[in-house]
Structure 1
Amino acid sequence: MQELQLLLVLAALVLLSFLSPATSCTEQEKSSLLQFLRELSPDSSSKFSRSWQSGTSCCSWEGIACGSNGTVTELSLPSMALEGPISVSIANLTGLRRLDLSYNSLSGELPPELISSASVAFLDVSFNRLNGELQESSPSLPHHPLQVLNISHNFFAGEFPSTIWEKKSDLVAINASHNTFSGALPSSFCISSPSFAVLDLSYNLFSGSIPAEIGKCSSLRVLKASNNEINGSLSDELFDASMLEHLSFLKNGLEGELDDGPLADGPAHKHTHTLFYLQPNSKQIAKLKNIVVLDLGSNNFIGDIPGSIGQLKRLEELHLDYNRMSGELPSALGNCTNLKIINLKYNSFRGELLKLSPRIGNLKSLLFLSLSNNAFVNIANVIHALKNSRKINTLIIGTNFKGETMPEDIPITDGFQSLQVLSIPSCSLSGKIPLWLSKLAKLEVLDLSNNQLTGPIPDWIHDLNFLYFIDISNNKLTGDLPTAIMLMPMLQPDKVATQLDPRAFEQPVYAGPSLTYGKNNALPAMLNLANNELTGAIPSEVGQLKSLTLLNLSFNSLSGQIPQQLFDLTNLQVVDLSNNHLSGSIPPGLNNLHFLTTFDASNNDLEGWIPAGVQSSYPYDFSGNPKLCDPTLTRTCDSAEAPPVSTLTGEETTPKIVFAIAFGAFFCLGVVYDQAVLSRFFG
């Protein structure tokens, strides 16, 4: 990422500018450092008992670096599990240039003397538990050398100060994301710091409109203010910041259009359906000629994508998802030949994607395309237009193409050779599971759910050697449950070794009423064949799917016994066999599945005793099996008459299945820790 590279280069230059061979520090500096140590928790200070000795030069202490004259120039103790406050005594280190206390558990306020230090150029206290308001002291100092400030992932609150930056003419980058700052967005950085380049205020509580003054930031390259409460329109002045490479206002309340404005010979006017004025021929987006990432997702924008977007030759990522935009996609989008990610899901775009063709073939770098939940038509043309794309690894186009037929006769030769995720759910597509899918040698995720597909599950599915997430539920598939699907190579190891490209998953891979996954490694190993017309027995080969975590075979016409081998799958968390015609007894071993969050075998024809140690209550559901008996039930195996069988429809049990799958996925892989995985400073 460009902003990360910029910051790393800057940090290296700052570090090299003051590092040199160590001699010995002064007694005053030694005293200040020991005072900092004493104010930490006892457990924290004990970690330095061997290194930080009063009888040795502090230039040799862990985390300390000195200049040629013995002055302490660096205090760097990241990821040391430090607890307690940051002592103000650090401000007494008059030669300190770099302070890095990130990734600890420090608490209390950030001493204002550090913000207004006469020496500190690099200050990083990110990923701690610091709180209070951001303040400064010594406003009488003529100049503050601060260049990089990273206070992200803390609990700072209050308004973000504006006057604090007036004497910081060297300021280059600020990351204040993931706090609880409120009030208006600050706008005074560029007035005093002409080289100011990076501002990240994401994940706070900022409100109000985007300040027009930001447009005066002639060197600004990164502006992130996602996940706030910012409203209003994108002001004309904002587009004057023509050096911007990364602009992100994801998840705010911005509104209005992104169009090109009226014709050049017409007067300025106010659109009847927008909330702001556009000047004649005002191609505002085209001014961002250096933009690489444009992320305006999850706002309230309306109207078309302007044709002038084709002038953004450096554009690599376009995120306009979850807005209220409409119209057909401009053919000029094909001119953005560096595009890697296009995310337009959940809008009202319409028409044929082919009107973007043949220029869409120019997008040789395209990795990720999500057009789901719009009103596009002609799925055959979409597949034809993209089938020669060699780099695309994610194609998400569900909830479009209503009532069309799944294309079958598509020759796949060397195209789609990198495709790893294919998601076409909720289109009411008819036809069969097409043969061209068998050519997708790297496919790992397949979602064809909620369509009208018929015919059997093809045997060639087990030839897809990397496929581990399969959802073909809610179709009209028929035939016996094939043994081939139980022989899938990727589901047989104990763990799934995913190969998905993480660059493609900065946005959710799969979003539906029941599942939302933000990273590739959050997708569970899943086999969902529910709500079809499948018959026959569950093959004993199911016991080979060692990596499987979610198995849903509910609402079919499966018969025979539950195979004993099913209980060899010790990674299982969700099993739904409900609403079939399964018979016989429940084999032993069910209570050996220690990770189960749900086991549903309701509404079948099972009989005999429920296994010892398993109760007919959450997370187990055996209701609707009149021949089953258990001490916890109101009947025994000697009962002459059994309670009536409940007849539930798929719609009535869907919430139960949804909860089970979502809870199981969350329990399986936990919370994916936020942007810190991607970047140390400005992820």
Structure 2
Amino acid sequence: MATTNISMFLLPIVLLLIWVSPAALSEKCSPHEKKALLQIKQELGNPSKLSSWNASTDCCSWDTVQVGCSNTKPYHVSQLELYGLDLPGPVNIPPSIFNLLDLEELSLFEMPNLTGPIPSQITNLKKLSILYIFSTSVSGPIPESLAQIKTLWSINLAGNNLSGTLPPSLPSLPTINVIFLDSNRISGPIPDSYGSFTSKKLVTLTLSHNLLSGKIPASLKGLDVYFLDLSWNRLEGDGSVLFGAEKSTEDIRLAGNLFSFDIGKVEFGRNISRLNLKHNRIYGKLPEGLTKLQHLTRLNVSYNQLCGPIPQGGRLQGYFPIDASSFASNKCLCGPPLPPCK
């Protein structure tokens, strides 16, 4: 009789274990995060590349695109990477993304049909360190509120249709290392605050191929990054503030602007490997300091108002790809690799 009672007690438990699949018992994905991801799929128009996203499988194992979950309990979706999706038509950034409150990395790229503004709800993502939205048709201003996400480490918003002005608050981000804002329709001047980033770890700032205009602020004398690209805008004024013997800059690109300054008075940092100043209004004689740049691999000062003999030595002559085209169409530059001075 006792044996029968025990069997009757154990039977529901055995049945429960049979009914609950091993996959369900081992699933990492939390129900509310799976629900948010399935809503994201629906908001994107159910693209075929997300066919593996279904309610019967663990979202931490979904493939084709990246859904990364944290390694320790409680498990949360910490990474979302959506790219090259076959969107059925113009679609805005899915609002359900901003219900994934533990996201640390968000990447949306190579989707021409992804449109609309960057939603203000992005500030819900308090743990976000990497924000990549590039090569899309996302438009509107860069949200000033991005500066509220104090964990941001890397921002890439290049190759979109973003407009408006540069947010003066971005330099207040305490841990920012990389900012790519090139190839948009951002206009207006560079704010003074871009010369005094709170983070001392900023290594890259690219603002090229926009509609930026006005005089470059003197405060940018304090900007020291490895890679700086302001090329192909409408910036003017004294671009010499971007240089300095003490700076660690390796790659600086100012081509296609209206900068006007005496290059002969510029002191170049010893780490410069690439220097592109073409298509400006720079004048004066090229300084001898250029011959001391031991890491120089690219140089272009063509289409300016430079004059006098080209300094001889270093990597300025006979070092491919630095050749006559690097010095062409100036006022009166002369000497190798150009024709001799008269």
TM-score by length of 1: 0.39
AA in 2 matched with 1:393: W
1:500-649 pair list within 5 angstroms: 525-543=250-268, 545-591=269-315, 597-599=321-323, 600-610=326-336, 616=337, 622=338, 628-629=339-340
- Render the CA deviation track for 1:236-285: whole Å, top value 9, x for unaligned: xxxx897478xxxxxxxxxxx98349xxxxxxxxx9x977998xxx9716
- Corresponding residue for residue 353 of structure 1: 118
Q: How does 1:35-46 map to 2 (within 5 A)?
A: none
Which residue among 462, 468, 471 is the counterpart of 2:226? Answer: 468
1:156 corresponds in structure 2 to none
Mapped partners of 1:411, 1:277: distance in 2? 36
Cα root mean square deviation, aligned = 3.7
- Structure 1: gaps of 5 or more residues: 1-216, 220-239, 246-256, 262-270, 298-304, 306-311, 493-524, 611-615, 617-621, 623-627, 630-636, 639-683
Matching residue of 1:259: 41
What letter matches 1:485 in structure 2?
Answer: L
What amino acid is aligned across from residue 236 of structure 2 in structure 1?
T
Cα distance in 2 for residues equivalent to 1:277 and 1:337: 21
The equivalent residue for 2:138 is 376
SS state at 1:588 partner: coil
Q: Distance in 1 between matches of 2:91 and 2:284?
A: 52
Q: Distance in 2 between matches of 1:438 and 1:564?
A: 28
Give the Cα–Cα distance (whole angstroms) in 1 for the partners of residues 210 and 48 of structure 2. 39
Hey, what's the Cα distance between the residues in 2 that align with 1:582 and 1:286?
Answer: 68
- Specify the SS of the correspondent of 1:433: coil
Q: Residue type of the partner of 1:284?
A: N
Helix, strand or coil: the match of 1:344?
strand
Flag the 1:488–1:412 CA change in 2: closer, same or farther, 3 A.
Answer: farther
User: Among residues 370, 385, 400, which one is paired with 2:145 in the alignment?
Assistant: 385
In the alignment, which residue of structure 2 is the partner of 1:163? none
Q: Aligned with 1:460: secondary structure?
A: helix
Give the structure 2 partner of residue 137 of structure 1.
none
The aligned counterpart of 2:239 is 481
Q: Distance in 2 between matches of 1:582 and 1:444?
A: 30
Q: Deviations for 1:415-461, whole angstroms, at most 9, x for unmatched residues?
A: 51111111111112220012343343322210000011111222222
Aligned equivalent of 1:430, options 164, 171, 187: 187
Whole-angstrom CA distance in 1 between matches of 2:22 and 2:322: 57
CA distance in 2, matches of 1:294, 1:274: 14
- In 1, distance between residues paired with 2:108 and 2:221? 32
- For 2:85 and 2:237, the matched residues in 1 are separated by 42
Please state how far the C-alpha of 1:558 moved relative to its aligned partner. 1.3
Q: What residue identity is the alignment partner of 2:116? A: G
- CA distance in 1: counterparts of 2:245 and 2:126, whole angstroms: 32
TM-score using structure 2 length: 0.74
Structure 1 residue 370: Cα displacement: 0.8
**Structure-1 residue corresponding to 2:7:** none
Asked which structure has the greater CA Rg, the reply is 1
**Distance change >3 Å, CA 370–CA 594, structure 1 → 2:** farther
Equivalent runs, 1:379-458 vs 2, <5 Å: 379-380=141-142, 382=143, 384-402=144-162, 404-407=163-166, 410-411=168-169, 416-442=173-199, 443-458=202-217
Structure 1 residue matching 2:175: 3-state secondary structure: coil
Asked whether the equivalents of residues 343 and 371 of structure 1 are also in contact (C-alpha less than 8 Å), the reply is: yes
- Superposed CA deviations along residues 170-214 of structure 1, whole A, max 9, x for unmatched, are xxxxxxxxxxxxxxxxxxxxxxxxxxxxxxxxxxxxxxxxxxxxx
Q: Work out the CA distance in 1 between the residues paired with 2:233 and 2:25.
A: 51
Figure out how many residues of one structure are paired with residues of the other and give that number: 299
Distance of 1:318 and 1:602 partners within structure 2: 48
- Report the Cα offset of residue 586 of structure 1: 1.2
Instruction: String of CA shifts for 1:33-82, please: whole Å, max 9, x gaps.
Output: xxxxxxxxxxxxxxxxxxxxxxxxxxxxxxxxxxxxxxxxxxxxxxxxxx
Q: Is the 8 A contact 1:295 1:317 kept in 2?
A: no
Partner Cα separation in structure 1 for residue 227 and residue 210 of structure 2:
17
Deviation string for 1:326-385 (max 9, x for gaps)? 51222221221221111111212111222xx43x323222111111121222224x2x23
Deviation at 1:489, TM superposition (A): 4.6
- Where 1:462 maps in the other structure, the secondary structure is helix
8 Å CA contact 1:313, 1:338 repeated in 2? no
Secondary structure of the corresponding residue to residue 235 of structure 2? strand
Partner of 2:14 in structure 1?
Answer: none
Unmatched tracts of structure 2, length 5 or more: 1-20, 30-38, 68-73
1:515 is matched with: none
The Cα of 1:582 is off from its aligned counterpart by 1.0
CA contact 1:481–1:537 (8 Å) conserved in 2: no
